[in-house]
Amino acid sequence: MVRSVVAPAALVADQAETAIVEAPNPAGLCKVDEILPVEQIEAAARKYERAADQAHRTDRGERAAKKVLDRLPADTHGTWRVFRTPSSRQAPDRAEITRIFKAHGLGPVSMKACAPSLKVKLAEAAPVDVDTPVLVST
């Protein structure tokens, strides 16, 4: 949980009011006759939720440790050697791209949305209405 020294109650209230926005389904999903039995889906959702929660906890721990280690110069500190290696990854220089677009009057830099994030949340069980007949299609 995030804590605020300035307005802690307001911060928690703001988080509680945030509604979940759902993205539309992507292409290539299972057809109705390809959907697995609900027991398999529930087991996969439980496994996914546990793994995602563990990954979040791991990320928080890694960030906390990195905050300490990032400030250290390359050297051997106790039994640990701290050093840096160049990255082989590259990313577009958005500031330079924006500068070039502005210099040539090309308008804003085109952006596209990222793929939606998969989330799972335990749904509340709907009450069973035993008085209404259920139609089963064959």
Both tokens of 44, joined, read 């996969």
Instruction: Report pLDDT for 73.
Output: 95
Query: 55: part of which helix (H) or strand (E)?
Result: helix 38-69
75-95 confidence digits (pLDDT tens): 999 999 999 999 999 999 999
Query: 135 φ, ψ to 5°?
Result: -90, 130
Instruction: Report pLDDT for 117.
Output: 86
Instruction: Report pLDDT for 14.
Output: 56
What are the extents of the domains in the chain?
A: 44-70
Low-confidence ranges of the chain (pLDDT < 50): 1
Instruction: Report pLDDT for 96.
Output: 96
Residue written as token pair 């009450």: 127
Give the CA angle between residues 29, 35, 37 to the nearest 5°.
Answer: 150
pTM beyond 0.85: the answer is: no
